[in-house]
Amino acid sequence: MTPPLVSLQDVTVQFTGHRKAKALNQVSFDLAQGEVLGLLGESGSGKSVTLRTLLRLHPERTTQVGGSIAVAGHDVLSLKGGALDQYRGGVASMVFQEPGLAFDPVYTIGQQMVEAIQAHEGVDAQAAQQQALRMLERVQIPQARRRFDAYPHELSGGMRQRAMIALALVCKPKLLLADEPTTALDATVQIQILLL
């Protein structure tokens, strides 16, 4: 039997600091390659916390994580340094709910995409630029070349969302985490993005 792509077993997450808050309590699920899992729940129920835990994005000093998380053969909770960097973006990638906050405001969209491609695929800058432009076109950003050189604040909310989707997909991760990926998009673009 093929092992699952993702396996969470009894995952708990507690935030500490001035006060303690338990965000996840014994979450378990397996996900096979090619499967899609949707997390449903009211605001504050732990959907985003679950996704961010899969990428180890919570501050280590103030977060206690228990249980086990395995993704594509990686023990996620034991990853450190370069191995964690390679896992993020190369094995698992995320479309964040707020792309305006997820992009670095001092670098262009293109610079951020090229950096990710070069870090994970080891290609030269010109090849990375071509790959980034192709992905911007695939998510239907008009005038992709112009948007490639734009800063995040120069794009509309819908274009920023599509650029975030392009960034998440550009290194062909095995696991794509999407936190409300089509919120800022109109209905026809939503369908096209979900198909992509």
pTM of the predicted model as reported, rounded to 2 decimal places = 0.85
Q: What is the pLDDT of residues 130-181, one digit of tens each?
A: 999 999 999 889 999 999 999 999 998 888 888 999 999 999 999 999 887 6
- Tell me which long-range contacts 72-80 makes (C-beta under 8 A, separation of at least 24): 72/5, 72/174, 72/175, 73/3
Question: Which residues touch 175 (CB under 8 Å, ≥6 apart)?
Answer: 5, 6, 54, 71, 72, 91, 92, 93
What is the mean pLDDT of the segment spanning 103-122?
A: 94
